[in-house]
Structure 1
Amino acid sequence: MFPIGDDNSARRATPVVTFALIAINVVVFFLELQNGNAFIEKWAFVPGRFSENPSGDAVTLLSAMFMHGGWMHLGGNMLYLWIFGDNVEDRFGPVRYLLFYLVAGFAASFAQYAVNPASNIPNVGASGAIAGVLGAYLLMFPKARVDVLLGRQVVAMPAFIVLGLWVVLQLVSGVGSIADTAQTEQGGVAYMAHVGGFVAGLVLGVVFGGLRRPPDRIA
């Protein structure tokens, strides 16, 4: 089940922050390709390195949020941001949405950090922040129509089913990944960052007033 779009008929404004975030992620990825492993090692969030020098390594909490491990990683994240981010931005407004996105990303990184603060595996990706966007979307638009690709068919399904199944997958995968990460120190998907970002999105969605009725559009 692969989401490919949603209902934007109620969107009131152009999602400039979402577009800008996508552009920044793409630019940073090309910088990774151009500068190689040295760039990744310098700007990725490494839990063990952060534990040793939190103040000196704090900038990587931000920089890692715009880095990716490959074309599929980038493409999948940007697709989800494109589909779900515009509606969340429309409800919050651009300034609150940008703050929301960054805070959700930080929360996601710390959720993964809590699993193994001594890990030397570089953490990169916008997945945690985007998981926060999904959490806020589910909170604010649970019955919104999401178009998903099922085999060769496109089927419209309510958001609470699409994102609910995504959450279950993250929880199940996350439980299994804790032992793998702690015991084998192997890289992979940072599922706990997804879970942490999603929970942060739900909480911040309430804090940022996402449940308040938006003002009516002026004709």
Structure 2
Amino acid sequence: MIPIRDTAPCYSRPIVSWSLMVLCIVIFIAMEIIPDQLKYRLTYLFGMVPLRYSSPAWAAHFGLPPDYYLSFLTSLFLHGGWLHLVTNMLFMWIFADNIEDLMGKGRFLVFYVVCGLSAQALQFYFDPYLTIPVVGASGAIAGVLGAYFFLYPFERVIVLIPILFFPLVFHVPAIAFLGFWIILQLQKATASVMFDGVMVDVAWWAHLGGFIAGAVLYRFFLRNEPEQ
């Protein structure tokens, strides 16, 4: 299922959401045009590499400062490829504006960052010996989805389902669409730790961590008065 848009009205311009999207896109393009060796170095420096913190000796061997915890934040603005970027930005475009609308700009920014950090922390907890960088905004965006799940459960998400050469469009309740999404993340995450030899190229635990953080914390970020 490919989400196209939602039906929840938004009463203010989501400046923070748009700015975060622009920042991710600009950083991605900049990383694409620099030399590969520099791109590789920056990805390992600013991406969250779990083994870097689990094994200081390994970090020192590769010239990575083991006490550089800023990567838990900077990794949220890096992406591994065009599909990774486009998918994250699509979900951000569809769901983040309504959450920013209810929280206000400043509170939404803090909420987004807190969810992103929670996502990276859970990924580190369940996979502390991973040697590749965990990058992407999906953990923070999962926090947005967690808030949307409870704030707009019966709004409709318009999804495209390609069947052979005939794309079909459906209106699905947000609670069903996001419920299916979180079940998929849970299934993939548990499979990654229960079964040996399972190839993991997606930070499933980061998605779960972000969603849980968003679902638990959103109520503390809602503003009391409409923002003018």
Provide the secondary structure at the position in 1 that maps to 2:5. Answer: strand
How many Å separate the matches in 1 of 2:212 and 2:91?
A: 17
Deviation of 1:178 (Å)? 2.0
- Normalising by structure 2, what TM-score? 0.86
| 2:57 counterpart of 1:58 | no
How many Å separate the matches in 1 of 2:19 and 2:8?
A: 19
Indicate the residue corresponding to 1:177 in structure 2.
192
Distance 1:187 1:44, change over 3 A: farther
Indicate the residue corresponding to 1:18 in structure 2.
17
Structure 2 unpaired stretches of 5+: 57-64
- Superposed, 1:88-167 pairs within 5 Å as 88-151=99-162, 152-167=167-182
Deviation of 1:199 (Å)? 0.3
How many Å separate the matches in 2 of 1:157 and 1:186?
A: 31
Distance 1:50 1:4, change over 3 A: same
Deviation of 1:122 (Å)? 1.0
Paired residue total: 212
| 2:210 counterpart of 1:197 | yes
Deviation of 1:55 (Å)? 7.1
Preserved CA contact (<8 Å) 1:119 1:185: no
How many Å separate the matches in 2 of 1:206 and 1:63?
A: 26
Preserved CA contact (<8 Å) 2:191 2:198: no
- Superposed, 1:34-73 pairs within 5 Å as 34-35=33-34, 36-52=39-55, 56-73=67-84
Indicate the residue corresponding to 1:208 in structure 2.
221
1:26-52 Cα shifts (integer Å, max 9, x gaps): 011112212321221221111111235
Provide the secondary structure at the position in 1 that maps to 2:26. Answer: helix
Provide the secondary structure at the position in 2 that maps to 1:69. Answer: coil
Indicate the residue corresponding to 2:60 in structure 1.
none
Residue identity opposite 1:84 in structure 2: F
- Normalising by structure 1, what TM-score? 0.89
How many Å separate the matches in 2 of 1:27 and 1:179?
A: 38
Residue identity opposite 1:104 in structure 2: C
Identity of aligned residues (%): 41
How many Å separate the matches in 2 of 1:190 and 1:2?
A: 20
1:123-179 Cα shifts (integer Å, max 9, x gaps): 101110000000001111111111111231221111001100001100111111124
Provide the secondary structure at the position in 2 that maps to 1:56. Answer: coil
How many Å separate the matches in 2 of 1:8 and 1:173?
A: 29
1:186-215 Cα shifts (integer Å, max 9, x gaps): 6510101101110000011122237x7x64
Distance 1:3 1:185, change over 3 A: closer
| 2:82 counterpart of 1:79 | no
Residue identity opposite 2:54 in structure 1: S
Structure 1 unpaired stretches of 5+: none
Residue identity opposite 2:177 in structure 1: V
Quote the RMSD (CA, aligned, Å). Answer: 2.1
Deviation of 1:101 (Å)? 0.2
Residue identity opposite 2:43 in structure 1: I
